[in-house]
Every structure is written in C-alpha cells, then in structure tokens.
Structure 1
Amino acid sequence: MTENPHPTQSIDFDAAIEVWLLRRQGWYQHQIAAEFHVNPARINEVLKERKHVGSRQVADRRSH
C-alpha cells in the first residue's frame, strides 16, 4: 500500500478493491479509513456495496 500524503474525500474503484482485500485480512473499518485518509463512512459505503459495485468480485478474483 502506498502512502497518500493528501487526504481525499472519496474512494475510487481501485481503492475499493484494496478496501475489500484489507477487510479480508481482518482490518477494521476505522483502520482502513485511516489508511486511506477518509471518513469511515466512505469505507462503509464500499462494504455495503452502495459505492463501487463490482469491486468485491474483483477482489475475490485477486485473492484466489
């Protein structure tokens, strides 16, 4: 994971895939949010599949 020196307001599709991979490694939502410098609600949007639908399936393929 590369460091992002500038906080962002949202998560893009590629970052959403990373969110799924980190979650599967046992990271908590607040830890993932800190990693991406976003509000935990942005992570929740990904994990509840309200944003970046399909990122979970891509993460599934990458983790197998």
Structure 2
Amino acid sequence: MNKTKFTEDEAIDVWLRYWAGQYQHQIAAAYVINVRAVNHVLKEKAHVGSKQIAASRRSA
C-alpha cells in the first residue's frame, strides 16, 4: 500500500533532500508516495512550519 501523507519528520526530510539537490520525483520515489504530496510540502500547503524546522536543523 502506498503512503498518501507525510509525517512531520518526513516533511522535514523532504526539505533537506530538496535543498541537497534531489528532484521532487526522486524524493517521492524514496518514500513511495505521489509527487503531489512532495509538492504540497514544498509549496507549504501541507506541514506548514516544516521548512523553518528543517532550516534550523540544516544550520545546526
């Protein structure tokens, strides 16, 4: 069964992977999830605030 939503920790990982240079379809494939779910995180339609948490972990 495919996932349909990310957990908060996974959403943070989406940002870290994206900033590391992975494409949305690569991130989706790693999680076996639809690319739309990745896009919703990156457009901040889902898991609002995950970008800020990921940024703080990235700079730590």
Query: What is the TM-score normalised by the length of structure 2?
Result: 0.94
Q: CA deviation at 1:53?
A: 0.3
Which residues of structure 2 form unaligned runs of 5+?
none
What is the count of residue pairs matched by the alignment? Answer: 59
Which residues of structure 1 form unaligned runs of 5+?
1-5
Q: CA deviation at 1:50?
A: 0.2
Measured in 1, the distance between the counterparts of 2:2 and 2:58 equals 27
Cα deviations across residues 25-53 of structure 1 (Å, max 9, x unaligned)? 00000000001110000000000000000
Query: Which residue of the partner structure matches residue 10 of structure 1?
Result: 5
**Is 1:54 aligned to residue 49 of structure 2?**
yes
- More helix as a share of residues: 2
SS in 2 for 1:27: coil
Aligned CA RMSD, in angstroms, stands at: 0.9
Identity of aligned residues (%): 46
Match 1:38 to one of 33, 37, 42: 33
Query: What is the TM-score normalised by the length of structure 1?
Result: 0.88
